[in-house]
Amino acid sequence: MQELSHFIDGRHQSGQSGRFGDVYNPATGEIQAKVPLASREELDRAVQSAKKAQPAWAAVNPQKRARVMMEFIRLLHRDMEALAEILSREHGKTLPDARGDIQRGLEVVEFCIATPHFLKGDYSASAGPNIDLYSMRQPLGIAAGITPFNFPAMIPMWKFAPAIACGNAFILKPSERDPSVPIKLAELMLEAGLPEGILQVVNGDKVAVNAILEHPDISAVGFVGSTPIAQYIYSQASASGKRVQCFGGAKNHMIIMPDADLDQAADALVGAGYGAAGERCMAISVAVPVGDQTADALMARLIPKVEDLRVGPYTAGDDVDFGPLITKEAKERVLGLIQSGVKQGAELAVDHRAFSLQGYEEGFFVGPHLFDRVSRDMDIYKNEIFGPVLSTVRAESYEDAIGLASDNPYGNGVAIFTRDGDTARDFVDRVNVGMVGVNFPIPVPLAYHTFGGWKKSGFGDLNQHGPDAYRFYTRTKTVTSRWPSGIKEGASLNIPVME
């Protein structure tokens, strides 16, 4: 049995708490490793190492910090296949999807090469009599990230790359369900030239999380996960005086207008709804065809596509469309919600409740399911399923459809498929959701724009990556400067004003 480690002060360190979590192979259901769960003392040791190393790193020229990111990118490309295999083995994703996980994180690292530009301040010469004003962005000190199981490469890089590029040290608490890739990323950052102590990986559970939230030397916390935990972390870390950004759950809708290309829409729904077994915060989980005629035509196209999806282990290569869920508990929860949908009156158009994969009977596989005639009051609509289940809610009109997406308590992503530009523009302007796709099912912005949902999908003022990352991981210092030649008239006791 492999025993994993923390990565503290530039080297692997065995766990000292005596507590461990199980890391499964989701395809077989077997425990493949033990991961140490850190104590508060271990978390503090990582913070103290970061605190010691950070001032020297902050003093490094931003261009030189960007060069570390450039070398890290080269190493990611070099080790892409090895990282993807590790990711697939622990998470269950197909190899192409694992590569995509790494690639979307890599793109944020690429954006961080522009750090010298984004850290430039502002300057106003002669703002007053012999007075110059200028501002500069300075690092916060130590930031921390608490990241989820569903993107074990991408989201850690979304967090630590801009934080470190800004001159901060970073404490990463990855998911204990698939922790190996984050540790490998820390190794590669060290190989790329990052000083020891700047990136620490501390594995753990709620003990480590609470230690992060309460630690006086951690200035900022970022989180991605479920909404209840996002609300908890946001409130606790804010109460401790930290800067916080938390991203929670989702219930993403895709509206299909009567004029849409239904073949294109059906393909988009299958890819967006069932990719990664639905374990994506941006997965489309609700199809909203407008009008019964549109709905009937869409279902006629969807049913055979969903029935033909291939489920299996990542080792099957190109012969599999999606793999298992992350844990047995996740599988049981998804199957329970499917059963509740049937019980509450939804029409189960594609039913794979009896799905079992020969040779992998103990794996955490769930076959693809497709519901029709789902209503707002059903559990499968109200809950984020996080599995290979697509629900169809028929809308009577465009106004009904836009209201469905806007009134939902989550506001992560939404899409509309239409050939009409006026409808699309109206939808983009009015819908109460943070990220919108037009004939594009998963509207995850590229690295140079920001990612973030609204309502119960996002907590905090700033989004992930893009320019917002530099605002989040730095603070502004403003300097008013006048040299001695200008202060010979004696003290002034009144507030300075422009003359």
Give me the residue label for tokens 């400067």. 481
DSSP string, 393-436: --BSSHHHHHHHHHHSSEESEEEEE-S-HHHHHHHHHH---SEE
Which residue in this structure is represented by tokens 């989980």?
285
Amino acid at 93: K
**Spatial distance between the Cα atoms of 153 and 185, rounded to a whole number of angstroms:** 8
Nearest to 186 by CA among 145, 126, 245: 145
Measure CA of the first residue to CA of the last residue in the chain; give whole Å. 75
Sign of the Cα torsion 282, 205, 37, 73 reads: positive
Half-sphere exposure of 469 (CA within 13 A, CB side): 29
Q: Which two tokens stand for residue 279?
A: 């374990």
> Cβ(265)–Cβ(297) under 8 Å?
no
281 in active site: yes
State the Cα–Cα distance between residues 7 and 36, nearest whole angstrom.
11
Longest Cα separation, the chain: 90
Nearest to 243 by CA among 7, 477, 470: 470
**Count of alpha carbons within 13 Å of 310, Cβ hemisphere only?**
10
CB 18 within 8 A of CB 55: no
Alpha carbon distance 372, 43 (integer Å)? 48
Helical spans, DSSP H, in 319-466: 328-343, 379-382, 398-407, 421-430
What are the start-end ranges of the H helices in 246-320?
262-274, 292-307
Catalytic residue among 112, 166, 246, 281: 281
Other CB atoms within a 10 A radius of the CB of residue 304 amount to 10
**Cα–Cα distance for residue pair 62/166, rounded to 1 Å:** 7
- Residue 426's Cβ-count burial label (10 Å; 0-12, 13-18, 19+) is middle
Q: Is 445 left (phi over 0), alpha (psi -120 to 50) or beta?
A: beta
Closest CA to 158 of 176, 170, 167: 170
Rounded Cα–Cα distance for residues 487 and 201 (Å) = 52
Classified as helix, coil or strand, 144 is strand
The pairing of beta strand 122-128 with beta strand 131-139: antiparallel
Q: How far apart are CA 5 and CA 42, in angstroms?
A: 12
Residues labelled catalytic? 281
